[in-house]
Structure 1
C-alpha cells in the first residue's frame, strides 16, 4: 500500500482517480491537487466512503516551489502527473528535489511551439538515476498501451519487429458539430502540426493530414484515418529491436476536419499571442474556452474506440504479421466512471503504470519509457482493470 499525489483534475485524471480507488489494496491514500481546488473537492465528495483515503489541495503546477512544498507536506510515495504537458518539467524538478517517483501520460511540450519530443525529459536521466528514483514517461494509451503492446509483441511473437503501424480509431459520436475528445488545446496542436513517421532511423515529414488511408476496424467499421506525428514513434524507434518504419494513424470525420480547416483559416488555432481590447490573448486558448469541455461529453457519446498496433517482423527466420488492439465502449465507460472512452483509455493505464512503479515491479532509478520494462504485468493489469486486449495473427495490413 502507498500514497499517491495526483496532479490534475480533468477527464483523464477523474478516470485514473476512480481506478485508484477501485485498486485500494495499492492506493490506500491519495491526494488530488489542481489549480482549481473546487474540482478536486467535488470529485472527492463523489468518491468518499470507500477504502481509499482522499484529500485535496490547490497547487499551481507551473510553480516548482509550490509543488515542492505540497510534496513535502503530503509526503507521497509517487507523483502522478495528469496536468498539462507544458508542466512536465516543473513537476519533474519537484520530484527530483523531494526524491519522489514520477509518472506521466504525455511528453513535455514547450508552450510556445507544438513540439512533441522526449529530448527535454530524457535529459533528466542522469539526475533521476543519481537521486535513486524512477520517472515513467507516457503511461497513457498512445503513448503507453501501444508501447507496451510493442514490447509484448517483441517478447512473445518476434525475434525482431521491422514495421509498426499504430491505428487510433474513435468511432464515438457526441452529437456536437465540433468538439474534441481530450484537452482541445493539446488535441488541435497535435492535429494541425506537420505529420511525420520514423523510417530507417530518421524522420520523414509530411504536411498536416497529407497521408490518408481507410481501414475497417472491428466493431466500429470502415473509417478514414490520417498520418500524424506522435511521440511514441521516437521512443519505439530507439527501444524496439529491428525497427525499419513506424507510423501513427488517427481517424477523423468529415465534420471535424471541415470545422478545423475553417478555424485554421481564420487564425483561431494559432498559438501566437494577439492583442484584444488591450490584453494579450492566445487564439487557441480562447477557442478552448468556448468549445465543450471534454469531461462533459461522457453522457452524450455513443459508439466505440478501437486502438492498437499492427506488427510485421521476423520469427524463426520467417516473416510474421500480428495485430494487438483494444475495443472500448463509450457508454460502458460512462456507466462505470462517468467518462467517455477517450479519457478512460488514458486514465486506466495511468493508474496501472503508477501501480507498477509503486509496487516495485517497474522501479529502476532513471527516466524510462514504458516499453523499456517487462510488458507482462502491464498486459495482465489491462485485462483486470477494464481494457482487455485482443489479438489477430492475420491482420489486414495498411498499404
Structure 2
C-alpha cells in the first residue's frame, strides 16, 4: 500500500492527482487537501469520472504546522506532495519532519515579502531530514525538474562535460484571453518581473527584467521571442555541474502579454509591498491575481503546443571533440485537456510531480536528506516521461547555438 497526501488544488495538482489515479498500482490511496475544500472535491469528482478511483479530500491551511501534522498523522501517508504555493514549502517541510514522512515539491521556497528564488532555505534542512531518516525531493516539475533530468541525461549518455547550457521554455498555446497566466498568476508575475540572472564564468550576471531577448524557431510552434530570465534550476545545475561556463534560462512571451504586463507594472499592480485601501492593507499583486482568470479554467479554450527543452554544448563522451545536443518535449494543450481536463502548462508540471513521487515510493530514487533532481539516475525518470504523456526527443545540432 502506498498512500500519498497531495497539498494544493490548482491545475498542477489536478493533473498530478489524475495521473496518480491512472497508476493505482503505485498510488493505492490518494488524499488531497487545500485551503478551499470545494476545489479538492471538484478534482476528486473528475478523477472518479475519468479514472474510477476515489480521492479523499480535506481542508487545510498549509502554513499552520500543527494542523498539517495532525492531518498527516490522520492520513498516514508514505509521502507528502507539496503542490501549494512556494511560500508554504518550509512549514510543510516542518510538518513532515515532525510527523516523520517523506516530502516532494515542484518549486523552491520563496519568501512572501521578496521575489527571491533560492534553494538555501531548503538545503539548510538536509541534516534534519538525514537524521530523521527521511527524504525530501526538491523541484520535481518540468522547469525545474525535467530540465535538470535532461541535463544529467546528457552527462550520462552524450557529454563528458557541459560548457554551455541553455534552457528554453516555449508555450505556443492560445487561450483566447487578453491577459492570463498559465500557472499561478502571483508566482508567474513575480518571476517575470524579477531581475534576470544567468551564470557565466563562475559568477552570477544580473540584467534588468525582460531586457535580453532572442528569437528561436520551436518545433510544433514556430518562431517565438524568448526572454532571458532567472529560474531556480540554474542554481542547482551549476552547483552539481561546476564545469559549466555559461547557463541561461529563456521563456517565450507574446507581444500582448508584454504590453499588458508593462502597463500593470507602470500603474503599480505588480507590487508585493502592502498598501492601504479603505482602511485595510492589501498587496496589489495578490489583488491582481484574484481578478485574473484562474489557470485551471483555461484548459477548455487553450489550443497549440508547449515546447520545453535544453541545448547543451560540451566535450563528447566518445572523445570526438565538442558537440551540441538539443533535447525537448512537445506537449499538446488539447491532448492534455482531453486526458485530465487541464491545459498543457499544468500538465507538464503535474506529470513530473507524479513521476518523482513514483521514483520515491518505488525506492528507485532513495536517500536520507534533501536532494535535487540532478543527484539521481536520470534513466528511470526519462523512461516514465515516455510512458506517461511527456515523450522526449534528442538531436545533435551542427554547433553551439548563439543567442
Q: Provide TM-score, normalisation by structure 1.
A: 0.98
CA distance in 2, matches of 1:207, 1:306: 25
SS class of match (1:393): strand
CA distance in 1, matches of 2:104, 2:336: 23
SS class of match (2:178): coil
Map residues 1-399 of structure 1 onto 2, 5 A cutoff: 1-48=1-48, 50=51, 52-240=53-241, 242-315=243-316, 316=319, 318-394=321-397, 397-399=401-403
Partners of 1:33 and 1:40 within 8 A in 2: yes
CA distance in 2, matches of 1:151, 1:370: 9
CA distance in 2, matches of 1:114, 1:13: 23
Partners of 1:6 and 1:80 within 8 A in 2: yes
CA distance in 2, matches of 1:369, 1:398: 29
Shift of 1:51: 6.2
Shift of 1:241: 5.1
SS class of match (1:390): strand
Render the CA deviation track for 1:161-208: whole Å, top value 9, x for unaligned: 111100000111111111101000000000000000011221100000
Instruction: Kindly report structure 1 stretches of 4+ aligned residues shifted beyond 6 Å.
Output: none
SS class of match (1:12): helix
CA distance in 2, matches of 1:380, 1:54: 27
Partners of 1:163 and 1:312 within 8 A in 2: yes
CA distance in 2, matches of 1:52, 1:371: 33
Shift of 1:317: 5.8
CA distance in 2, matches of 1:398, 1:253: 22
CA distance in 2, matches of 1:119, 1:47: 36
CA distance in 2, matches of 1:307, 1:194: 22
CA distance in 1, matches of 2:165, 2:352: 21
Partners of 1:27 and 1:52 within 8 A in 2: no
Partners of 2:170 and 2:251 within 8 A in 1: yes
Partners of 2:44 and 2:54 within 8 A in 1: no
CA distance in 1, matches of 2:349, 2:45: 23
SS class of match (1:173): coil
Extract unaligned runs of 5+ from structure 1.
none
Shift of 1:394: 1.4
Render the CA deviation track for 1:68-125: whole Å, top value 9, x for unaligned: 0000111000000000000000000011111111000000000000001100000001
Partners of 1:165 and 1:398 within 8 A in 2: no
CA distance in 2, matches of 1:105, 1:28: 22
RMSD value over aligned CA atoms? 1.1
Partners of 1:24 and 1:51 within 8 A in 2: no
SS class of match (2:162): strand
Is 342-351 or 33-42 further displaced after alignment? 33-42
SS class of match (1:96): helix
Q: How many residues align?
A: 399
Shift of 1:43: 1.6
Shift of 1:397: 1.2
Partners of 2:104 and 2:138 within 8 A in 1: yes
Partners of 2:6 and 2:32 within 8 A in 1: yes
SS class of match (2:397): coil
